[in-house]
Amino acid sequence: MPDAGSEALAWIVYGIFRSIGAVAQALPPRLAYDLATRLADLGYPLLPSAAGLRDNLAHVLGTSLEDPAAHQAARRAFRLLWWNYVDLFQAPHRHPSLRFPSIRIEEWEHLEEAWRTGSGAIVVSAHYGPLEWGLQFLGTTGLPILAVAEPVRPPEMFRYLCRLRGAYGLRLIPADGTLREVFRTLRRGGIVALALDRDTTGSGRVYSFLGEDAWLPDGYAELSVRWGVPLVPVFAWREGEGVRLRIWPPLRPSGKSGPAREALVAQVLEIFAGVLREAPDQWVLTTPIWKIPSQHAK
């Protein structure tokens, strides 16, 4: 249970977040993005979240934290993170189909193929590219999609985020809540969306990623193996002023055991590694995944 100090801080952060959101919603999109860029540049040297982001990108680039290349990539990614907040705040007033001058969808048939089996499916992605737009876009498709989101405090903050992200039909539940709704969605042939790069429940494991041990969630693979449903990797990129969304062919579990889960994780991480090599500075994860929790370090 959180103490009084952390609870008070959570309410302060919530108040600031709502205030920034009100400003972002009132501004024209281009002006909002420009303001977000300025705030990102001001915050980059000061905020711990920027340091965590740089740690991740240094590993992707195979360099040190202080290498200029790591700083440059992290600064670009930190700007993109703040642009994603603009996409989030303006969601109720800007339909995803009108958000960018150009939108390119690649291999959408793979997601429809997985859904049409009627057995349910799991979409897996990462904190990468125009994430907030991607979530809202999925909500517009009419597919029965449930997203499992990071729990945040106070509860009013989580409900506020759910209203923004669910403005176009996406349903969300907290990652630390009951899995009953996840099971119900899969049982009805629906789609569950999960993240592959951030462990929000403390149930992750150590996996080899880009040649090093990293602490990563594997709940998506656990569910796929347990229910015998396909995994569908999905990633989006910002391309200039446009956006591209790509869907990979469904990955299917080879059995019901631990090795089947690990094989699925390896396949997903291989795909994600390729995505990162294409545009590492679009990875906006601020939790340093290569810092293994001490109780799990080898």
pLDDT at 177: 82
Structure confidence at residue 146 as a pLDDT band (50, 70, 90): very high
In whole angstroms, give the CA distance from residue 292 to residue 177: 24
pLDDT at 297: 63
Task: Find the mean pLDDT for residues 88-114.
Answer: 93
Q: Three-state secondary structure along the chain?
A: CCCHHHHHHHHHHHHHHHHHHHHHHHCCHHHHHHHHHHHHHHHCCCCHHHHHHHHHHHHHHCCCCCCHHHHHHHHHHHHHHHHHHHHHHCHHHCCHHHCCCCEEEECCHHHHHHHHCCCCEEEEECCECCHHHHHHHHHHCCCCEEEEECCCCCHHHHHHHHHHHCCCCCEEEECCCCCHHHHHHHHCCCEEEEECCCCCCCCCEEEEECCEEEEECCHHHHHHHHHCCCEEEEEEEEECCEEEEEECCCECCCCCCHHHHHHHHHHHHHHHHHHHHHCHHHECCCCCCCCCCHHHCC
Structure confidence at residue 295 as a pLDDT band (50, 70, 90): low
pLDDT at 2: 60
Structure confidence at residue 118 as a pLDDT band (50, 70, 90): confident
Task: Find the mean pLDDT for residues 140-149.
Answer: 93
pLDDT at 129: 98
Structure confidence at residue 6 as a pLDDT band (50, 70, 90): confident
Task: Find the mean pLDDT for residues 182-193.
Answer: 95
Structure confidence at residue 109 as a pLDDT band (50, 70, 90): very high
* 81 phi-psi bin (left φ>0, alpha ψ -120 to 50, beta other): alpha
Q: How far is CA 42 from CA 46, 49, 80, 208, in A?
A: 8, 13, 14, 34
Instruction: Determine what percent of the chain is predicted with pLDDT higher than 90.
Output: 84
Higher pLDDT, 142 or 235: 235
Residues 56-79 have pLDDT tens digits of 999 999 999 999 999 999 999 999
Task: Find the mean pLDDT for residues 138-150.
Answer: 93
pLDDT at 108: 94
Burial class (CB in 10 A: 0-12, 13-18, 19+), 103: middle
pTM attached to this predicted model: 0.95
Mean residue pLDDT across the chain? 93
